[in-house]
Amino acid sequence: MRAIHILKYLQKLVFPHLWHAKLLNVGKHTAPLPPCLDLAAHANSHLNCNGLTAVQVKYIAQSRRYRRYVARQKPFLDKRKVLKRLEWARVNRFRNWDEAIWTDKLQLGTGNHSVHPMVTRKPGEAYLPECLAPTFQSGHEALMVWGCISHGYKGPLIQLEMAPRLQLRNGRWRGGGFNSEGYVMQVLNGPLKDFIAQMEKVKGHRMLVVEDGAPAHKGKLAKQACEELGIKHIAHPPSSPDLNPIEPLWMELKQRVYSTPGARRSLEHLWNATEAAWKSFTADDINKYTRKMPSRVTALVKSKGLPTKF
């Protein structure tokens, strides 16, 4: 068979089969180029493509617009979480988001950035499940801050104090981190309560709080405090940072902080840089993310609960 005919045959029949086998994204995230040798060997041994070379595979991949990209990182979603996200989107599709106050915690550190894994895909496929790099919660401790926003307004940013770790008689450690008691004392009874009152006075209607499902938010003390303070919530689906507009604002904050000379020298320098970066945000900086909430919900409906581009 002539070379040109072989390439056409590969493009129509063989290559789609190879690609959907996901060989390019299995254990090869850090490879600078697609593992063309692996694909060629697979085709030669399983698809009777005698003589297929890595150069031919690479040519076909590039002709079909496949390139190597940094994998988008998204929280891992099982079927239960996907269904909850989809149900949430259907319930909140026509909500008035002007009554929302989005809150979240952010962790910053003095260490270096981690390496981002690579995947091979076409343009427009960045958020397909097989092209994502799942992220999981990390126990790393550094500087932890809390902040909140509403459409048109920036709330306070505070540095959180972590609960001390206690060593038990058996030598094990218990506690530590940010618990429900700390959430009540540092957030609910102070900055969040005051910001809710400010927004209800300025906007002239009720305000509802959006927060993730962190254990500190679900504790008995936190629930009791919210009831006593009259704080109402908009339910938030699990593992869904793409549904909170403060998340991209955090990314922008990190960029400003880490670009500040000397910010990573110590936790004190890091906090000073973080506080300055937060103060530099304007209402326009916030609104460019909050005004996209209807688009976020629509995108979630279209993706049927799977990760979106946000």
Q: How many CB atoms lie under 10 A from the CB of residue 183?
A: 25
Give CA 237 to chain center in angstroms: 13
- pLDDT (tens digit, 9 = 90+) per residue, 163-204? 777 666 776 766 667 889 999 999 999 999 999 999 999 999
Q: From residue 262, how far is each of 145, 254, 259, 301 by CA, in Å?
A: 19, 14, 9, 43
Q: From residue 26, how far is each of 204, 258, 303 by CA, in Å?
A: 54, 32, 24
Show Cβ contacts of residue 73 under 8 Å, excluding neighbours closer than 6 positions. Answer: 116, 132, 133, 134, 135
Q: Burial letters for 112-125: b for 16+ Cβ neighbours within 10 Å, e otherwise? A: eeeeebbbbbeeee
Which CATH code for domain 75-302?
Answer: 3.30.420.10
Q: What is the total residue count of the chain?
A: 310
- pLDDT (tens digit, 9 = 90+) per residue, 207-248? 999 999 889 999 899 999 999 999 999 999 999 999 999 999
- pLDDT (tens digit, 9 = 90+) per residue, 68-80? 777 777 778 889 9
Q: How many CB atoms lie under 10 A from the CB of residue 69?
A: 17
Cα separation of 164 and 161, whole Å?
9
Show Cβ contacts of residue 278 under 8 Å, excluding neighbours closer than 6 positions. Answer: 147, 154, 157, 253
* Confidence at residue 135, expressed as pLDDT on a 0 to 100 scale: 56
> Which of 97-106, 127-136, 230-239, 263-272 is predicted with the least confidence, judged by mean pLDDT?
127-136
Q: Are 77 and 139 in contact (CB under 8 A)?
A: no
Flag whether the pTM goes above 0.75: no
Q: Are 56 and 10 in contact (CB under 8 A)?
A: yes
Cα separation of 68 and 50, whole Å?
27
Q: Are 3 and 21 in contact (CB under 8 A)?
A: no
Q: Mean pLDDT across the stretch 246-265?
A: 93
* Confidence at residue 73, expressed as pLDDT on a 0 to 100 scale: 74
What residue ranges do the domains of the chain occupy?
3-64, 75-302
Phi/psi region, residue 226 (left: phi>0; alpha: psi -120 to 50; beta: rest), is alpha
Of residues 136 and 228, more confidently modeled: 228
φ, ψ for residue 30 (rounded to 5)?
Answer: -95, 5
